[in-house]
Amino acid sequence: MSPVLTDAELAELLKLDQTLVERLVAETDLPRVTIAGERRFVTSNVLTWLSVQDTLLVLKEEKEAVSAEAIAASETDTVVVPAQEDEVPFVSRAALLSLSSGASDPGQNLARQQVRDGLAALGDGVHPTLVRLSHDRLHPSPAEADRTSAWRVDETTGSIRHVTMAWAEGDGPPGFVDRPHMALAVTGDAVEFSAKAPSGPSPAAGIVNRARAGGAMVSIPAGNGPWAVTYLYEVGRCGAPTAASLQARLVRDAKTLVPLWLSATSEGANA
């Protein structure tokens, strides 16, 4: 085994399959170097790093039991996460409906504020994971007024399309729409969690395939146009899920989305 390893040679050294090695590199601070734009691993650094690790590095992904309703929803790439009978939804069903029905009615503003507060709470819950996985690079807008988007009625449909919280690097306009960013959104019937880029090369096929295999919707056109990879958690047919159940899924899916975001940044593209 050579002292400087490729990804495939690292997998051979660790006796792990390539998918697990990709997750190990994406989700931990395993030492790596970049040589002429190519990622490499120094054997001695890897072994030294491993020797001092005393926690579970990569969580084994177990197949979850899937309800009949979840199976039916799988055709549209959704993950159904209903609340249990003894749990409280992260927002009320009436609040969710306030985005789609009577959206222009100011009497619904209190219900819509509940959606906005629920979104902010979900964002606060997943924020530490985003910070850790991005190596302290992802952050929301520092302006409280821009931290979550205001609700705006779509004049064509008469509904509010979504309320969104976004994370990115540096300063930018609300929602960081001018740069690669992470977005968490609530609509009238779903919660969406995305990695998005307004332009630039497509992310690596390996991690895109992993996202697709995990149920994400992938919108990556040819060329250097805008792209998005989105996990969709339907909350309409089964009632709103709890904050705890949603947060667990957001943390899980962040492990795929953040590496996609990193690949779209200048630092990630050169890594």
Rounded Cα distance, 54 and 65, in Å:
30
Are residue 82 and residue 198 in the same domain, yes or no? yes
pLDDT of residue 127: 93
Comparing 180 with 73, which gets the higher pLDDT? 180
Chain centroid offset of residue 224 CA = 21
pLDDT at position 210 is 86
pLDDT at 77 over 70: no
Kindly give the residue spans of alpha helices, DSSP state H, lying in the chain: 7-14, 18-27, 43-51, 68-73, 93-100, 109-133, 144-147, 205-213, 243-264, 266-269
Phi-psi region of 242 (alpha: psi -120 to 50; beta: other; left: phi over 0): beta
Q: Domain check: are 111 and 19 in the same one?
A: no
Total of domains in the chain: 2
- Which amino acid, residue 253? D
Q: Is the pLDDT of residue 152 over 70?
A: no
- Residues 15 and 137 occupy one common structural domain: no
Q: Which pLDDT does position 173 carry in this prediction?
A: 86
6-17 pLDDT, tens digit each: 988 988 888 888
On whether both 25 and 136 belong to a single domain, the answer is no
Q: What pLDDT sits at residue 86?
A: 44
Task: For residue 244, give its domain range.
Answer: 68-269
Q: Quick one: 18 and 145 in the same domain?
A: no
Residue 106 pLDDT grade (very low, low, confident, very high; cuts 50, 70, 90): low
Residue 107 has pLDDT above 70, yes or no: no
How long, in residues, is the chain?
271
Please, are residues 260 and 231 in contact by the beta-carbon 8 Å criterion? no
132 conformational bin, left if phi > 0, alpha if psi -120 to 50, beta if neither: alpha
- Which of 67-71, 149-153, 230-234 tops mean pLDDT? 230-234
Dihedral over Cα of 208, 228, 234, 140: its sign: positive
pLDDT tens readout for residues 159-205:
566 788 999 998 888 889 899 999 998 887 788 999 999 988 788 88
pLDDT over 90 at 261, yes or no: yes
Instruction: State the average pLDDT for the chain.
Output: 76
The pLDDT of residue 162 is 76
Same domain, residue pair 21 and 72: no
Rg of the chain in Å (alpha carbons)? 20
